[in-house]
Chains A and B, each alone.
Chain A
């Protein structure tokens, strides 16, 4: 069964530091890779996504880096803030379908 491997499982970062979360995927039907942010008691919310006609996409403090040959993509959170403390999920489209498989999640805690 197709998987998306996400690491680390948990991450503690000091305020102002850089948070980095990595994902690796298998074969996909098309190329579109989103990241979701989930706060306790809430559903996941789309944070940022990349189409790999580019190798990097930046929105504010959030950057996705994409390595198509390695089938890997990562989320960088610059100047991490306590409000960024949440669980982050990457997702990748499954081969041959419109559906997505989600990574196992990374619980980020940013210390004040």
Chain B
């Protein structure tokens, strides 16, 4: 299965700043997915990122808050903009493979 490297693994950020999370996959994939997992909660899909096109956002998530780049078939970034304490979560990137999703280890974000 694909190996996903996600950086940073954790960060503590000031309110009002932005953080960019990087996701690198060791193989070429068509779609990459970004999820949010709030403390003790389930996984919520933020957006789907296809190479060469704009990301598709789920209800409740907007591009201005969570801009996504997908410059090639192995890499994507998610930016959490103008952060507030409510953005404190684990952010996960994921790719779909034959038998389901493979996830990165996540970025644990704390906004203070």
Name A residues whose Cβ lies closer than 8 Å to a Cβ of B. Answer: 1, 32, 34, 36, 41-46, 49, 89, 91, 98-100, 102-105
- In the assembled complex, which residues on chain B have CB atoms less than 8 Å from the CB atom of A89? 42-43
Interface residues on B, range: 20 to 34
A-binding residues in B (CB < 8 A): 1, 4, 6, 31, 33, 40-45, 48, 59, 92, 94, 96, 99-106, 108
**Residue A103 contacts which of B40, B42, B92 (CB distance < 8 angstroms)?**
B42
Taking CB as reference atom, which chain A residue is nearest B43?
Answer: A102
Q: Given A34-B99, A46-B100, A104-B41, A41 and B105 touching (CB < 8 A)?
A: yes
Number of A-B contacts (CB under 8 A): 54
Task: Check B43–A44 contact: CB distance below 8 A.
Answer: yes
Main secondary structure of the interface of B (DSSP, over half): strand
A64 to chain B, nearest CB (A): 13
**Bound Cα distance A105, B42 (Å):** 6
Q: In angstroms, how far is the closest chain B Cβ from the Cβ of A47?
A: 9
Residue in contact with A43 in the complex, picked from B1, B31, B48, B105, CB distance below 8 Å: B105
